[in-house]
Amino acid sequence: MARYTESVCRICRREGQKLFLKGDRCYSEKCAVSKRSYAPGQHGQSRRKLSEYGTQLREKQKVRRAYGILEGQFAHYFELANKKQGVTGENLLTLIERRLDNVVYRLGLAASRPEARQLVSHKHFLVNGRKVNIPSYLVKVGDVITVCETSRKSAKFDAILGSTEGRTVPKWLDMNRDTLEGKVVAFADREDIDIPVEEHLIVEYYSK
């Protein structure tokens, strides 16, 4: 399965809520969800009651699309979460939060997760002093994420820092905007994950 290359605003409209895939645009009056809150397509405004399976599928798709994860990757994360002690649904969300592209976004070093994924792929970040260009890399407690020396001088990061100024960094991360250095001080708790999702429905989806 290839990456989704069409308008990401259609994804938010399909899920019926903002997934913040376009950075600043999602906070403006230009947001597609604010302008057209119904699903895309000619039948988007028709109301259909979802089946139990359909509701579970939508929750899974919502999380997968918000984080930009392929179907096979998501199933793999679920398997890992299911093997860990604790609540499987919460394990799944906290595991996905550890992705490097998500951490870069949470630190305010990218305006959106898609942008964070692109920046990581283009080798703009170091983890513990080493370049990492794998967006799905799972960070650990104590890992230090920094912007490469050559990248931090670019106009690109000046624009990013301007657009993310004032964004709240979750308590499980520590960010120094002067040195462009972030640190993982803990793993995310369920309360730190702000995507409105009922993760137990995802567990039910994979339990069938």
Amino acid at 144: V
197-to-56, 89, 136, 144 alpha-carbon distances in Å: 10, 10, 21, 29
Q: What is the average pLDDT across 74-94?
A: 96
Tell me: pLDDT of 1 over 50.
no
pLDDT number for residue 25: 58
Whether the Cβ atoms of residue 22 and residue 8 lie closer than 8 Å to each other = yes
pLDDT number for residue 33: 54
Q: pLDDT per residue over 38-81, tens digit each?
A: 565 554 555 567 789 989 999 999 999 999 999 999 999 999 99
Sheet containing strand 144-147, strands side by side: 130-131, 125-127, 144-147, 181-184, 173-176
Its pTM stands at 0.79
Residues 6+ apart with CB under 8 A from 190: 90, 93, 94
Q: CB atoms < 10 A from the CB of 131, how many?
A: 11
| Three-state secondary structure call for residue 144 | strand
- 14 — pLDDT class (breaks 50, 70, 90): low
pLDDT number for residue 208: 78
Q: Is the dihedral of CA 191, 15, 29, 102 positive or negative?
A: positive
Q: pLDDT per residue over 115-172, tens digit each?
A: 999 999 999 999 999 999 999 999 999 999 999 999 988 898 989 999 898 889 999 9
